Each structure stands twice: as structure tokens, then as C-alpha cells.
A and B are shown apart, each in its own frame.
Chain A
Amino acid sequence: MNKEDSNPTLEARRGFLAKLAGAATCAGAAAGAAALGAIPTVSAKTEAPPAGASFPTKDYDWTKHQWGFGVDATKCIGCLRCVEACKTENEVPRNAHQFRTWVERYVHLEGEDEVRIDSQQDPVNIEASGSEKEFRFANRYKDAKVEKAFFVPKLCNHCTHPACVQVCPTGATYRTEDGVVLIDHGYCIGCRYCVQACPYGARYFNEEQGVSDKCTWCYHRITKGLQPACVEVCPVGARVFGDQKDKQSPISLFIRNNRVQVLRPETGNAPNVFYVGIDKEVN
């Protein structure tokens, strides 16, 4: 036997390294298998959550519903009661920079090629309301010749293939079986990757709580058979909500009786907020 080969220290080290290499190979194989398992889901498709009942409300079975939301922009009058109701209902920070829902105003003035767009957070509108706790649109175009104008309520689209869920590193944000995208505030690490990934600007970061936040379609209400707060307070019925599995629900009728469209379909996110009466500039 070679004298050097019998060196006990070297032997021990070689043994240790062989074990280390073995362990690394196993870990690599496991990681590879995990990665392979992830491949079918990486194209913005989310894994289906495990079927289960009684979450979060007793006797509520999320496998029996498929929620959907409709916006009839031709009806919206821009009163912003929805925005205020949402802030109150969901304890959204009372400032002009963080919203779960908002309303956009599109105005075409005579002789102008570009559409003018603003929302309730615009400084002119905040000045008109006199507070960041109450919102209204300033009558800023009263002396101008308006060719066309309309309001568009916006909120989280609760996409079928949500980009925010795809990028969340912990799975704190997820899509429920009944089609609602939620955030587990007790698990969110506050990296804000989801805020960046959402093409609709629907998410904000709650600095005080250190977590991301967004519209939940008032999940705490809808699972009790109530309407989302914004739908409840809308005085003109511009917001429609219901169960798509129920063919006679308001949302099913809304989709059936109108030619609806979704925002930014090219993203592949497949939104579940359906719009009627919006113009080409709206995205």
C-alpha cells in the first residue's frame, strides 16, 4: 500500500469531504427536483390552494363560489363614496397616497389631442376637498369646453394568473379557491416585490404595519353573504359584485348582458374585474 495513502489525517479528511460531496449532491438533486416541480407553474400560473371549508367564516365553503366584479363606467358619477367607504371599512391609511380602490377621471377638451387624467389624489382635488381624509373631484374644467368625460373606478383585479402572487417569495399572498387574491399580513416579509409586479398599481405598502396591502373585495364581508363596502355604498350601481357560479347573480348577468373588457389583457394576468364603457386610454 502506498505510504501516503495510509495517512490517517488525509484519510479522515477525504472521508469527510466525500460525505460532504454526497450531501451536496443529495441537496442538489432535491433542489433540482423542486425546480422541476416548479416549472409547470412558473408561467404566471398559480397553484390551486388546497380545498377546504369554513375559512375564514364558519359554514363558508370557498369551493362553492367564484367571485367576480363588474364596473359600469357609464354609470359612475365620481362621487368617491366608494373610496371613503373602503378606507373606513378596511382601515386604509387616511392619506392621499394609499388606496385599495380609487376613481380616475378622463377628460377630453375641445382642441386638445391628449386626454387629461386625474384621480382623487391629485393635489388640485385634495385642495378642493380640503383634507386627505375626504375626497372629491375639483370642478377644474368648469370654464373649459369638454368634448367627452367619464369616470373609471379602479381596484385590484383579482387576476386568475396574478403577477403579485407569482413573485411573492414566501407565499404570503395567494389566490383563494373562490377567486380572491389575499395577503397573509402575519406572514408577509414586506419586500414589496408584489407592489412592483402589479401592472395595475393596485398594491401599496403599509409602512406602519410593515406589510403590503390591497383590495380583498371585502373578503370578511363577502364570506358572510354581504357585498363589498364600495359596492354597498355606490349610489348609481356602477360597481357590481357577485358569484360567477350563480348564473343569476348580478355579476353573471352583467357579464352576459354586456360586452365587457378587462384591463391590460396582454399581460396574461387574466383579470376578474370586468369593465363596460371605458375608452382606449384606460389601462
Chain B
Amino acid sequence: MEPIIQFAPYTGWVYPNETVFEWSVLIAVYPYLTGLVAGAFTVSSLYQVFGFERLKPVAHMALLTSLSFMIFVPTPLLLHLGHPERAFNSTITPHLTSAMAMFGFFASFYVALLILEGWFAYRPFIVDQAQKQSGLLGKFYGLLTLGSYDVSEHAMRYDRKWIFALAVIGIPAAHGLHGYVGFMYGSLKSREWWSSDLMPVIFLFSAIISGVSLLAVLYVVSCKLRKIPVDLACLKGLAYTIWAFIMVALVLEGLEFANIVYKGREGVDMIMQYVTGPLLIPYFILQFAVGAITPFLWLSYMIWRGTSGRALVVGVTVCACLVLFSVFMMRWNVVIGGQEISKTGKGLLSYHLPFFGKEGALVAILLTMAPLGLLYILTRLFPPWSDEATHAHS
């Protein structure tokens, strides 16, 4: 029988209780999914609030993507809890000084906001379908109309006001949600690797680049599947967005690391031993060199040369995939890396990722992929494509 507790091998001096890794890969997946939500919403906001017309082809998909991933955000947490049936204790009787306690409220608020904004955005389509479809599907759309079949210009103007307002509220909500996830780590004073004032903003910017990258990939894949040409202006818009934010993300992460090294507080020797040893490949090579600097340089080159056509599509897609990988590595290096450096500052542990099991690699992969399944279903029910007459007002 598989042992209940996985003990971690270590070197140097670590506290006896530290030899069990309490936060597994699932806790790395959780901020990853949250980040994708915030990033995807950024794209939606750039179109709805800031009028980035070129992002219109992905604006509705951004909303659906955000919603699909948001619904799955609590799952890694629930799977990780020792008593998932008590999960609502933190919402029913929240402990107000806990960073984690407010998560349920923020997340619920944000899901409600996404559903409401989605409903307004899709209302003409829902009304249309409720009148066209029959049977179960017709009833489904009929129910979603909430009894409102008015799609007159006046009603549409009214809806647009709500979409705009919700998108405006959604910007601080989405980014607050993710900055707050960073705060959950950054506010802990037990670990030098986490305890940084920059952690919330680092999480935020990495979230933005991951969400925008995800949309770039999803957009290209959807165009291929639907056998329609990729709107290069839209893809360029996404590429510019990734390029701009990746620069900020890189600078922030660089500053964070420089701060740790320069301040040189107790335990820095162990951190240096760690980053130049076990973390050399996951941190410097995979997260920075491969996942961030390579796409940054590649995107810079394409922007400088005015690359277009197939080269642009391939280039942006590959860069976006690299960024998605880099941001996952960032989550991994924070969550797992933080625990690999002992609280004693005098020892290192190593995490073994099991493939099977409740907190294994397979579950982590499935949880990361599951929102894509939901997104597929949602795109069938609510086509987000702007080339069809689905959104009269958008």
C-alpha cells in the first residue's frame, strides 16, 4: 500500500516537521489557474474598456476563457484540503486576519461578475437562440433570457452601459484577485524566498502574460479548427500586449532576486546554494532563459522586422506557449522552491512529484486541462466568434 505521507530527502539542517512537503503541485496549479483567469480578463477589458478594436475577435473568447478557468480555480484547493467538506468554514466564519479567508468571497464575487458580464454580452445571441431553437436547447436558452426578449437599440444601449461598468469593475477585481494570491505567499514571514513585498505585483504581471498568451494560443488553434484565416492585426495586438507586460514581469522578478541577494539577510547563503544548484535549471534556464527571455527577444525581433503572415502566426504561438510554460515554472519555483529551502536557513529539501495519487502529476495535468474542456462546451453553447452574427452590439 502506498504510504500516506511522502517524506522528503534533505541535506544540511532542517526542522524535523519540515521533512514532509505540505504544499504539493496542486498549490502550484492553483495560482497558475487564477493567473490565467486574470490575464484572459485583461484582454477582454482592453477591448471593452480601453477600446482596443483589434482585439475584438478574442474579446468574447476572453470572457469565456476567464469563466472556464475561474470555475476550476477552487478544485486544486479542495483536493488538497484535509477536510474538503469543511471548506465553507472559511466563508461562513471567516477569520478576518487570514489572507486565505477572503478568497472565497473574492472568488465568488468575481465568478458572479463574469457570469453577469457574459450574460449581457451574449444576451442578443441568447434571445435569438431562444426564439430559433426548439426542444431542450430552446428551453435552455429561454431560461437564460430571464424573461427579457428585448433587443431593441435602446435596450442594447442599456446593456452596453452594464458591460462597460462590469468590465471596469472587473479590472480591479481580476487583478486584485491575483495580486491577492501573491500576497498569500509574500505576507508569510517564515520563508525568505516568499517573504517579499514585490510578490503580489510579480504574481500579477506573470498572470497577465500567461492569460494573454493562453488567448493567443486558443485563438490560433480555434482559427485552425474552424478553418478560417487568423486575423493578423488581432494576433499582433496580443503579441504587443505580451511583449509589453513580459518586460515588466522580467524587471520585477529581476528586482526581487536582486533584493534578496543584495540585502543578504540570514539564510541568503542557503538561497544562493539553492539557486545555483537544484534551482539552476528550473529557475534560470526554464523559467527565465527559455520561458521569458527567448519569447521576449523573439517578439522584439518580429515587432522590429514587421513580421507578418505565417511567420507571425507561428512565432507568436510558439512564444505564447513558452510564456505559458515559464509562468507555470514561476508558480512551481515559488510554491515548491519555497518549501525546498528549509526555514532553518541551513538546509535544503527535495520534492518528489508522484505521477499518480491525489496530489500527483496526473491530477495536476488534468486540472489544468479541464477548463479547456469546459471552454469547448461553452464555445458550442455560446459561440464567441466575432465573424458570425452572434453579437449585434459588440
Contacts and interface: CB of A to CB of B under 8 A. Distances in A.
Contact of B345 (A7, A208, A283): A283
Contacts of B158: 10, 14
User: What class of interface size applies to chain B in its complex with A?
Assistant: 35 or more
Given A7-B154, A31-B105, A41 B5 contact: no
A153 B383 CA distance: 64
B195 to A, nearest CB: 10
A200 interface: yes
A188 B147 CA distance: 44
Interface in B69-89: 77, 80-84, 86-87, 89
B89 A13 contact: no
Interface in B16-54: 16-20, 22-23
A119 B155 contact: no
Interface string A188-199: 111111011111
Given A166-B97, A169-B101, A283-B344, A196 B83 contact: no
Nearest to A28: B109
Contacts of B87: 189
B23 A118 contact: no
Contact of B93 (A34, A98, A170): A170
Given A170-B101, A189-B82, A10 B17 contact: no
Contacts of B393: none
Contacts of A12: 147-148
A110 interface: no
Interface string B181-207: 000100011110000000000000000
B4 A207 contact: yes
B69 to A, nearest CB: 21
Interface in A211-227: 211-212
A189 B16 contact: no
Contacts of B164: none
Contacts of B147: 9, 12
Overall SS of chain B's interface: loop
A95 interface: yes
A53 B93 CA distance: 23
Interface in B348-394: none
A38 interface: yes
B346 interface: yes
B266 to A, nearest CB: 8
Contact of B188 (A96, A197, A202, A283): A197
Contacts of A121: 16, 19
Nearest to B265: A266
B343 interface: yes
B97 A41 contact: yes
Contact of A196 (B20, B22, B105): B22
Contact of B22 (A119, A192, A267): A192
Given A189-B82, A210-B82, A201 B15 contact: yes
B127 to A, nearest CB: 11
A189 B90 contact: yes
B17 A199 contact: no
Nearest to B92: A170
Greatest chain A CB density within 10 A among B98, B101, B155 is at B98
B16 A96 contact: yes
A172 interface: yes
Given A4-B154, A96-B16, A189 B346 contact: no
B261 interface: no
B40 to A, nearest CB: 23
Interface of A: 4, 7, 9-10, 12-14, 17, 31, 34-35, 37-38, 41-42, 44, 46, 95-99, 102, 117-121, 154, 163, 165-172, 187-193, 195-212, 267-268, 283
Given A97-B20, A168-B95, A170-B94, 18 more contacts: A7-B150, A37-B96, A97-B5, A99-B16, A99-B17, A118-B13, A154-B15, A163-B188, A166-B98, A167-B188, A169-B101, A171-B95, A172-B89, A196-B190, A197-B190, A198-B190, A203-B17, A205-B22
